[in-house]
Structure 1
Amino acid sequence: MSTPKLLIAYDGSPNAQSAMHTVAGLFPGATAVLFYARQPLEGFAAHLEGHPALEKLQGLDAAALDVSEQIAADGAQLARDLGLIAEPLISSTMATASEAIVDTAEELNVDLIVLGSRGLRGFKATLLGSTSASVLHHATRPTLVIPSDAVAAARRNSRVVTPAE
């Protein structure tokens, strides 16, 4: 069996780092694209045409792109340190992160999409949305959502356990 081509959604968070460690153990030596989906500020900037604040906003967007590139590069380095063959990739699109992940997985013809889980539940998850849930619902590729140890422990602890009768 050949090693799979992975698209790893990576935002630099501890949960994303934890997912990276897990996937590197599951698929040693796999080829991975470390994908950071960012939304440029140009949608907001369109409403400021001719306004003096536009220049500041463009400077902020350039700085955000620099940070995005660093996050993706750091993720690719972590993946290489863990034994994966990895390269960074950044998306700058008005699409949501989940749409960018699904679209990029198709474009790159990956075998597996990998995401970490932040562990949001209830109303907070509904309000903020869930990238992993959206990717699961819309992806046409196999998708693996990996909770960090902390998220998994919190989920275990939140379950109501009833004694067996």
Structure 2
Amino acid sequence: MMDGRIGAIRDALDSEGFTDVSIVSYAAKYASSFYGPFRGALDSAPRETSRAPRDKKTYQMDPGNAREAIREAAADVDEGADMLLVKPGVPYLDIIRLLHESFYIPVAAYHVSGEYAMIKAAAQRGWIDEKQVVLETLLCLKRAGATSILTYYALEAAKWMQE
């Protein structure tokens, strides 16, 4: 998310009387290879044009830079963010923990398409127990500090957790 955008959204919402509308900040969206299946499904893989580079690294975070997550999240919290989102989830458990310990607002984890695809493919080959790996993965995201989890496994996980 662009610098200052949370503040602009908060100001616009508040000025129109929507003071109870929450804002989720995309504070820690990493330039990750784990988005591949989603981009493939939408045929939206990064392409080079005369105005844009082939990758999205100009506006997504460097996977090696944890400090940037703190700086970006702090700015968004100061501007009025009500929740922070870390994307992708599992490769960035340390970032989830870092944000959880640094700020007193909820931290969401986005378990993205590449994470889903790896589990699904390994399960289809009989290498892992899909249900157990999914539930363990979600538990790890929660243990790291995620208060909300967005996942392609939402329906199956809800069913499995009721069993």
Shorter-chain TM-score: what band?
A: 0.3 to 0.5
Query: Larger Rg: 1 or 2?
Result: 1
TM score, norm. by length of structure 1? 0.37
Higher RCO, 1 vs 2 (CA within 8 Å, ≥6 residues apart):
1
The structure in which a higher percent of residues are strand is 1
TM score, norm. by length of structure 2? 0.37
